[in-house]
Structure 1
Amino acid sequence: MIRHSLLFFTMIALALTAAVPKAAAEKLHCPNVTDNDEKNTEIARRYFQMGGMFLDKSDYVKSAESFECVLKFVPYSLTARYKLAKAYDGMEVYSKAREQYELILVYDSKDAESLKPEIRKRLAEIKDLKDKVQTTVVAVEAPSTDEKTCPSVVQKSLQEVLAKATRLLDSKDWARARTLVEEALGKLSGATQEQRTL
């Protein structure tokens, strides 16, 4: 019984010392359009301000996501569309930038007319440019060669077992919790003694 308690607490220690993975950048959340026009206007205004801030900081991805959200609420916003085109241009996603610039050329307003010469010039400059391929390199952790270090995949698996065993202990199902822990530790057959006792 003492040995099993020791193993259980070892698993708890493993779970507590495991490294927490870094959070990946997530896409900006854009709420759905509602029936409340005031709320929609407020949301669009907030995302417009965020988009401008991101554009000023040259964070073109977040800027584009913000202005896409604005256009979801206000599809005919000339300024939002123009800034979205600038964000795509900054990201070097020229196909989308061209698409947005060309939509602005169709607008029939005084403000649009003032932008059209600049847009035509930029369209000529990016006419034949290919999109920059957006790649994300995901670092793959090399397997540990240290006989004392437990690989992160094993740590994660043990954390899951620990969570299940804790729920079983909370429900006073000690036999199933013990079996679950023993099975998990039995799967560590290739592990060194140091890795098993950490």
Structure 2
Amino acid sequence: MDEEEKREFEQRYSRRQLGSNVDRYVEPEPELDSEGEEVVEPEVDISSLLERQRLSPGPSVVSPASDEDDDVDKSLAHIGGEGRVLAQSKKGRVQQIEWDAELEELSREKAAAEATRDLKARFRAQTARQRGRGTVRGGSHSGRGAKHLGSYAEAPPLPTDAPKPEKNEKEDMQDYLDDLLG
């Protein structure tokens, strides 16, 4: 490269010397022809190209029935689908379900399963808390276990289907005293 080309190259690819931010927004002056008018690139006429495409014997654009998904562009559905059947999407379709005895039974089973799951979760949480406290084992009430003994409450008796036998007044009082002392 001679000196002139080198200078031109450096000028073209060197950093711009901007005085202020305003220089960034200066628009270059338009080129003028011999008559003093702006030189404008002629617009390309593509109507003949479009007409040839319409008349070509290639695959035509098939617009499928748009009753399912109006927001899906299916204008290119013919490309690459030679041996395959396009799977129709069922997304967005509204279906009415009839409520019958079978569905009612399934609903009851689901509710029972959820209730059982919740109950088991509560029992697991309760036993985990009790394990963290350090329960007293055996008959001895000495040491650490004696401090925590008063903080435990006895669980209420489970309901049973069999009726409880009637206790006489003496047994009833004996149970009461056992509870007080126990």
Which band: TM-score by shorter chain?
under 0.3
TM-score relative to the length of structure 2: 0.21
More relative contact order, 1 or 2 (CA 8 Å, 6+ apart): 1
